[in-house]
Structure 1
Amino acid sequence: MSADQKHFSPPARLLHWLMAPLVVAMLFIGVGMVATLSSWHQTLLAIHKPLGIAILGLVSVRFIVRLTHRTPPLPNDMPRWQQHIAHLSHWVFYALLFAMPLVGWSMLSAGGFPIHLFGPVNLPPIVPQDVQLYALLRSAHTVLALLLFATFLAHLGAALFHGLIRRDGVFSSMAKGRD
């Protein structure tokens, strides 16, 4: 296997490590928004909206990079069912990272809430204002957040398993560049 095939491309690694702390922050901010009705709620909400749109933009770029750059193969001694789950979990991650901000944007649009990003920049509504749709999308946003959190934990667990126990190069394929 060539050196290029042992590691993810530099753009893929950059986007991965840029997005990872943003997604973790977003999950904690989301929990904080739900858990508190204090003055922090508005501050967290003001961070949550632009961060969600930033993640949407980054995952769009990352998806293009994923489609245009080869990924390193998983170890041959890894059971096929684990390889299939690994591939499936990555596509689930992409779907959730696209869906979460779009559902959040739609939810706020349906609720008639302004989507202020920064300065004079606001997003237009993408669905009509509708209280029932808002309630449905709010529930969907919560369920998707829980799925994203579970997927993140599984991904982190698998990364640690490959990096600390198997030491098979899977973790280093994303953690560092060519040897």
Structure 2
Amino acid sequence: MPRPAASQINGQTMKQTTGYSATQIGLHWIVAVLVAGQYMFKDGISSAWDAYSEGQEIAFSPLVFAHVAGGMLILAFVLWRLVLRLTRGVPPAPENEPAPLKTLSHVAHWGFYVLLAAMAVTGAMAWFGDIAAGAEAHNVVKIALLALIVLHVLAVLFHRIVLKNNLMLRMIRPAD
């Protein structure tokens, strides 16, 4: 197993490894699949929210249950990933990546944690707390998250096609 190296970020020592663990990789792909499902099968929760907003009774729907449960699972997995990131560390950016892109990558990865957690929290605020501002925030964060996902996929393609590095392998092949 590769030994983590220490690096300084904002005056704090953070662990750094040569690659992601099997757990980190698994959590990444599980969250990706769950998020894709949330976007693809959102009609059930949207219809239920519209009915609720109009004062109608909401019947049980497996799609509504799946959306709510999926949101809770995403939050749990994101928190788990965050703990692993802080305790195990993450690999450094590829050497041939320009400094501004390294910074953008760092911001984007932390943005994923924030936006994914915000989606779960605002969704819960709306669904369980009947807080209209939560529903509105959920819809705004949904668009920001989708934009970040598109940026993430484009970045992977940029690394593969332009920089010609094997960045994608780090999210497929575990380091330990």
Q: Distance in 2 between matches of 1:156 and 1:52?
A: 22
User: Which consecutive aligned stretches of 4+ in structure 1 deviate over 6 angstroms post-superposition?
Assistant: none
Corresponding residue SS for 2:97: coil
Query: 1:131 is matched with which residue?
Result: none
Name the count of aligned residue pairs: 156
Answering whether residue 162 of structure 2 is matched by residue 162 of structure 1, we say no
Contact 2:44 2:61 in 1 (8 A): no
**For 2:112, which of 93, 96, 102 is the aligned residue?**
93
Gapped regions of structure 1 (runs ≥ 5): 112-133
Whichever structure has more helix as a proportion of its residues is 1
- Percent of pairs with identical residues: 29
Distance 1:140 1:57, change over 3 A: same
Could you report, residue by residue, the CA deviation over 1:128-157 in whole angstroms, capped at 9, with x for unpaired residues? Answer: xxxxxx221111000011111111111111
Answering whether residue 125 of structure 2 is matched by residue 106 of structure 1, we say yes
Contact 2:44 2:64 in 1 (8 A): no
Q: Distance in 1 between matches of 2:81 and 2:108?
A: 16
Q: Distance in 2 between matches of 1:100 and 1:140?
A: 8
Answering whether residue 170 of structure 2 is matched by residue 173 of structure 1, we say yes
Gapped regions of structure 2 (runs ≥ 5): 5-16, 51-59
Answering whether residue 67 of structure 2 is matched by residue 48 of structure 1, we say yes
Q: What's the TM-score, normalizing by structure 1?
A: 0.75
Deviation at 1:28, TM superposition (A): 1.6
Answering whether residue 166 of structure 2 is matched by residue 147 of structure 1, we say no
